[in-house]
């Protein structure tokens, strides 16, 4: 009798939960999100209401409103948030999180990514994402790294593709988002893919990859 096809065997032990601790790279420091970040983050968000178009929260009319949202998010373990403080400026300028944490399935998502205009398209922004992905995959052993976003969020889709996430398809009518129907685009990096993605990010982030004016000599994709 022929046995039914099954997937490959894997290490079934649950992965550890992420720790709410700081991380530091060459260009940025990640700090566990705290209400004390509200002032800097509110200033970073001034005039940038569109940067919250695809977030579940924001934009914020007052510092107090942002502080309340930050305090609520800082108290959660899933999602677990970090503030992003570029070393070049020393000013908190965005946040991101690990969420949908599934220790039994060794799956974890990088999301709730908000970059203020001063952080967008910088080495610090790329390194912030790299630091959390590396913690999840290399330090904690998660086999599936997930990225999902609104299917109409073109910048987020480009970012996922740039980092080497593989498109998995669209979840139709997946969420109600600020009173509107949302289709969700799904992406992932698997355990087998991670080493090449990690090495590409590290090569792109190397100081040798940047000219004197700060522009990158090679694209991130060119290193894969």
Please indicate, yes or no, if residue 10 is contained in any of the structural domains: no
Domain span at 34: 23-223
Please indicate, yes or no, if residue 41 is contained in any of the structural domains: yes
The CA distances from residue 218 to 160, 203, 208, 211, in Å, are: 18, 9, 10, 10
Please indicate, yes or no, if residue 17 is contained in any of the structural domains: no
Q: What CATH number is associated with residue 121? A: 3.40.630.30
Please indicate, yes or no, if residue 211 is contained in any of the structural domains: yes
- How high is the mean pLDDT of the chain? 97
pLDDT at residue 1 greater than cutoff 80: no
Please indicate, yes or no, if residue 33 is contained in any of the structural domains: yes
Please indicate, yes or no, if residue 195 is contained in any of the structural domains: yes
Residue (of 19, 16, 165) closest to 82 by Cα position: 19
pLDDT at residue 175 greater than cutoff 80: yes
Please indicate, yes or no, if residue 167 is contained in any of the structural domains: yes
d(C-alpha 35, C-alpha 78), whole Å: 17
Please indicate, yes or no, if residue 152 is contained in any of the structural domains: yes
Residue (of 131, 121, 158, 163) closest to 146 by Cα position: 163
Number of structural domains the chain divides into? 1
Tens digits of residue pLDDT in 63-114: 999 999 999 999 999 999 999 999 999 999 999 999 999 999 999 999 999 9
């Amino acid at each position: 009798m022929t046995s039914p096809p099954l997937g490959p065997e894997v290490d079934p032990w649950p992965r550890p939960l992420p720790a709410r601790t700081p991380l530091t790279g060459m260009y940025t420091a990640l700090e566990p999100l705290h209400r004390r970040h509200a002032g800097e983050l509110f200033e970073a968000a001034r005039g940038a209401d569109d940067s919250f178009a695809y977030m579940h929260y924001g934009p914020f009319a007052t510092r107090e409103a942002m502080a309340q949202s930050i305090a609520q998010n800082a108290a959660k373990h899933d999602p677990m948030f970090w503030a992003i403080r570029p070393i070049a400026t020393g000013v908190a300028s965005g946040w991101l999180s690990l969420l949908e944490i599934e220790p039994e399935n060794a799956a974890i998502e990088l999301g709730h990514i908000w970059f203020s205009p001063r952080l967008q398209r910088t080495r610090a922004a790329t390194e912030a994402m790299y630091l959390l992905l590396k913690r999840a995959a290399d330090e904690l052993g998660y086999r599936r790294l997930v990225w999902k976003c609104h299917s109409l969020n073109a910048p987020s889709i480009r970012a996922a593709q740039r980092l080497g996430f593989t498109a998995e398809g669209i979840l139709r009518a997946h969420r109600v988002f600020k009173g509107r129907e949302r289709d969700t685009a799904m992406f992932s990096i698997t355990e087998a893919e991670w080493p090449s993605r990690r090495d590409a990010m590290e090569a792109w982030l190397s100081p040798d990859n940047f000219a004197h004016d700060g522009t990158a000599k090679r694209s991130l994709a060119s290193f894969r």
